[in-house]
């Protein structure tokens, strides 16, 4: 008799005992496994499964044992459950990189149904398109698309949302879908690998699926011509026109069912079906090996908090599309135009509060008791002055960022956000916070003093500069960002001026600085909509107003890497509008004059970083594994002459607000004309009197 290994399914499955008695017995193993919801069998089980959607009571968990594995099961879009997830050892989800892949595609049943000849005599309703829907608040706003599509082609809608049809009695989902030529297999979330029975049911029913879900459907469809993707059409009207064309062209219509012919299934699809089956077998192996005290199967990969979903999906046909594009552009242009006047105001106010020769204390006593503030100004921004200071007891030098309260009035939340982030982060490639002081005039932030200069400044000064040097610099940026992103922090202003070397030494660490625009996400699914960043480095999704997150930092690294290797930027324009237009198109090239000595690996890395679709853009963790980063080889070609030539080119100066332009603005602000200084002092005096 075959040994039966119990696996406890501790929670319910959507409030039911769905998995009671479920057998894993087709793996050609000398033992079988059986799932049970019977908690009385806990002592006999070495694996315990928890379903994400049914874990409402965090205290309802069995005692942990060294040889008992805890498995986190989730078949829906990722949930933000850090306290629960941290206790788990393995993941069992639809994601292809799960420890135990467990999805909606049952290999044997699906192949049996899909390889049947299509019944061409199957009754089809006059209405060509159907949609069955229960979730009325899908995060990808799919109902907006369906509502617009319905204006151009008839759609029968069943379920709880927008329904215009009653669900027929004694009819299965597959039977109902089979009565339509097309079925809207729209997922309720647009997440990596998230494909449900909405797709497989359509194939079994013998209809053509219209899909909107993950960006890569390849692993889940029989072949590339077996679905119709909505993202291939700019407007639902275009999709409706195409559907009418398919209906009118029998050859085109029949081509969507070529997968039912012999050898019509792609190897990629078959591999996915095998992987789904193997996932359950691997779970059974784990249960057996833990149960018999054999060596551990393998450590879990902990992938379940990795956010790969987009909560908000913007469709270009919506009425808000124009203002969502142009309002962020207008805001960015306004920010740039006001920058220099704000800096002059900061300097004038700082002079009045901290430099005028009177008897009032210039700094908090607690600050001056611990630190000596030096005269040297390191920089001036729109809200603060940065000076050098040294700790009295050790002589160690630091930077003190003096944020003037009058300047940030009404924007205190930005300062609070920056301080919250600085208190939270500790990493070798991120500037560290050491102290905070406050008085009636300002907030004083003591942090690392970076004396090695800005990124591009050092590159221009180098005599020899190779790809290996550039690779090491990009690696340090990515390591810092990987840490920030793991803490759910988006920097949102990665640019050369915010990348400083800690010391002048040749092997000095590169630090990410200035968290004034950074955002601590409430959860992995939060989408940001406020337009911010520096024009040349801002990602297209920020300009398009479609919502953004961690991928914007990766785009900025791509722009910087491109510039590090060539000396000029990938996107440019004769003015700000042309620059933004260039970024929103996302097109760039590798001019032979500057790129003929650059490796293909470097160009491929740039392409991954500058992928237009943020869903497809590489993550910091993934980029760190790229061969261009991990390889120790160096072709030894000195890029310095070409890079310096690129830095001096007209194209670079026209393309963005570069470090040189920023320095020039600061110099103009620090040494204003007499008329400008008198005007700013007058404004400050008027504000003081109010």
Q: Is 592 a catalytic residue?
A: no
Is the CB of residue 256 less than 8 Å from the CB of residue 246?
Answer: yes
Is the CB of residue 220 less than 8 Å from the CB of residue 199?
Answer: yes
User: Which pair of tokens denotes residue 26?
Assistant: 């087709």
670 φ, ψ (degrees, to nearest 5): -75, -25
- 379-382-384-388 Cα dihedral, nearest 10 degrees: 0
Q: Rg of the chain over CA atoms, in angstroms? A: 30
* Axis-axis angle for helices 576-585, 321-350 (nearest 10): 130
Is the CB of residue 536 less than 8 Å from the CB of residue 657?
Answer: yes
User: Which pair of tokens denotes residue 257?
Assistant: 């069912």
Q: Which helix (H) or strand (E) holds 280?
A: helix 267-291
Q: Which of 183, 179, 181 is nearest to 198 (CA)?
A: 183
Is the CB of residue 225 less than 8 Å from the CB of residue 258?
Answer: yes
Is the CB of residue 445 less than 8 Å from the CB of residue 421?
Answer: no
Instruction: For residue 136, give Cα distances in angstroms to 78, 246, 305, 591.
Output: 18, 30, 25, 50
474 φ, ψ (degrees, to nearest 5): -65, -40
Q: Residue written as tokens 């480095």?
A: 537
Q: In sequence order, what DSSP letters do the residues of 184-198 get, joined into one string?
A: EEE-SSEETT---HH
Is the CB of residue 40 less than 8 Å from the CB of residue 46?
Answer: no
Residue tagged active-site, from 212, 311, 493, 553: 493
Q: Rounded to an integer, what is the distance from CA 184 to the centroid of its chain?
A: 27
Q: Rounded to an integer, what is the distance from CA 159 to the centroid of its chain?
A: 33
User: Which pair of tokens denotes residue 172?
Assistant: 């299965």
Q: In sequence order, what DSSP letters do the residues of 394-460 get, joined into one string?
A: T--EEEEEEEETTTTTT-HHHHHHHHHHHHH---TTBPPEEEEEE-SSEEEEEEE---S-BHHHHHH
Is the CB of residue 487 less than 8 Å from the CB of residue 425?
Answer: yes
Is the CB of residue 661 less than 8 Å from the CB of residue 536?
Answer: no
Other beta carbons less than 10 A from residue 6's beta carbon: 18
* Cα–Cα distance measured from residue 687 to residue 404, given in angstroms and rounded to the nearest whole number: 14
Instruction: Using DSSP, state whether 234 is helix, strand or coil.
Output: coil
411 is in an annotated binding site: yes
* Cα–Cα distance measured from residue 230 to residue 186, given in angstroms and rounded to the nearest whole number: 10
| Alpha-helix runs per DSSP H in 487-575 | 540-544, 551-566
296 φ, ψ (degrees, to nearest 5): -60, 145
Label residue 25 exposed, middle or buried (CB < 10 Å: 0-12, 13-18, 19+).
Answer: middle
Known binding positions: 411
Known binding positions for ATP: 411
Catalogue the active-site residues: 493
């Amino acid at each position: 008799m075959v040994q039966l290994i119990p696996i406890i399914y501790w929670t319910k499955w959507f409030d039911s005992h769905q998995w009671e008695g479920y057998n894993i017995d087709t793996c050609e193993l000398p033992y079988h496994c059986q799932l049970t919801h019977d908690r009385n069998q806990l002592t006999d089980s070495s694996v315990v499964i928890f379903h994400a959607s049914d874990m409402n009571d965090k205290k309802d968990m069995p005692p942990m044992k060294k040889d008992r594995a805890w498995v986190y099961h989730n078949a829906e879009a990722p949930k933000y459950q850090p306290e629960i997830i941290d206790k788990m050892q393995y993941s069992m989800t639809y994601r292809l990189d799960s420890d135990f892949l467990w999805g909606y595609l049952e290999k044997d049943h699906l192949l049996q149904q899909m390889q049947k000849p299509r019944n061409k005599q199957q009754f089809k309703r006059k209405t060509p398109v159907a949609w069955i829907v229960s979730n009325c608040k899908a995060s990808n706003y799919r109902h907006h698309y369906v509502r617009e599509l319905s204006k151009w082609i008839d759609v029968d809608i069943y379920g709880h949302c927008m329904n215009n049809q009653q669900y027929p009695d004694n009819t299965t989902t597959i039977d109902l879908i089979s009565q339509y030529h097309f079925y809207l297999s729209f997922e309720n979330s647009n997440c990596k690998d998230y494909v449900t029975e909405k797709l497989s049911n359509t194939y079994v029913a013998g209809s053509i699926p219209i899909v909107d879900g993950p960006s890569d459907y390849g692993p889940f469809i029989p072949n590339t011509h077996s679905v119709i993707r909505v993202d291939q059409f700019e407007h639902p009207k275009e999709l409706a026109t195409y559907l009418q064309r398919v209906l009118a062209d029998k050859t085109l219509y029949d081509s969507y069912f070529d997968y039912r012919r012999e050898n019509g299934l792609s190897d990629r699809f078959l591999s996915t079906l095998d992987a789904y089956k193997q996932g359950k077998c691997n779970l059974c192996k784990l249960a057996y090996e833990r149960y018999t005290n054999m060596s551990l199967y393998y450590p879990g990969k902990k992938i379940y908090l990795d956010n790969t979903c987009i909560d908000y999906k913007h469709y270009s046909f919506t009425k808000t599309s124009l203002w969502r594009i142009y309002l962020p552009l207008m805001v960015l242009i306004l920010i740039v135009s006001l920058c220099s006047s704000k800096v002059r105001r900061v300097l004038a106010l700082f002079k009045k509060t901290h430099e005028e020769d009177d008897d009032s204390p210039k700094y908090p006593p607690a600050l001056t008791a611990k630190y000596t503030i030096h005269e040297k100004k390191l920089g001036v921004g729109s809200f603060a002055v940065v000076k050098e200071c040294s700790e009295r007891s050790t002589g160690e030098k630091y930077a003190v960022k003096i944020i003037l309260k009058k300047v940030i009035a009404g924007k205190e939340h930005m300062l609070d956000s920056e301080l919250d982030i600085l208190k939270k982060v500790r990493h070798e490639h991120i500037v560290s916070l050491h102290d905070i002081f406050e008085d009636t005039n300002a907030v004083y932030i003591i942090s690392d003093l970076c004396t090695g200069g800005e990124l591009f400044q050092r590159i221009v000064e180098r005599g020899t500069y190779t790809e290996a040097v550039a690779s090491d610099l990009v690696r340090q940026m990515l390591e810092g960002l990987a840490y920030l992103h793991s803490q759910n922090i988006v920097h949102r202003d990665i640019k050369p001026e915010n990348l400083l070397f800690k010391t002048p030494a040749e092997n000095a660490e590169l630090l990410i600085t200035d968290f004034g625009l950074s955002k601590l996400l409430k959860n992995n699914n939060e989408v940001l909509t406020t337009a911010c960043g520096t024009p040349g480095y801002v990602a297209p999704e920020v300009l398009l107003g479609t919502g953004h997150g961690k991928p914007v930092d990766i785009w900025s690294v791509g722009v910087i890497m491109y510039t590090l290797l060539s000396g000029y930027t990938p996107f440019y324009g004769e003015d700000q509008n042309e620059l933004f237009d260039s970024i929103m198109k996302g097109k760039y090239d590798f001019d032979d004059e500057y790129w003929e000595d650059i490796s293909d690996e470097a160009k491929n890395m740039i392409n991954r970083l500058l992928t237009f679709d943020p869903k497809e853009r590489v993550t910091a963790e993934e980029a760190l594994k790229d061969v261009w980063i991990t390889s120790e080889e160096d072709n030894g070609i000195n890029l310095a002459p070409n890079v310096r030539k690129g830095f001096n080119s007209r194209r670079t100066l026209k393309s963005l607000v570069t470090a040189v332009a920023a320095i020039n603005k600061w110099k103009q602000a620090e040494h204003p004309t007499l008329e400008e200084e008198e005007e700013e002092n007058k404004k400050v005096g008027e504000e003081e009197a109010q």
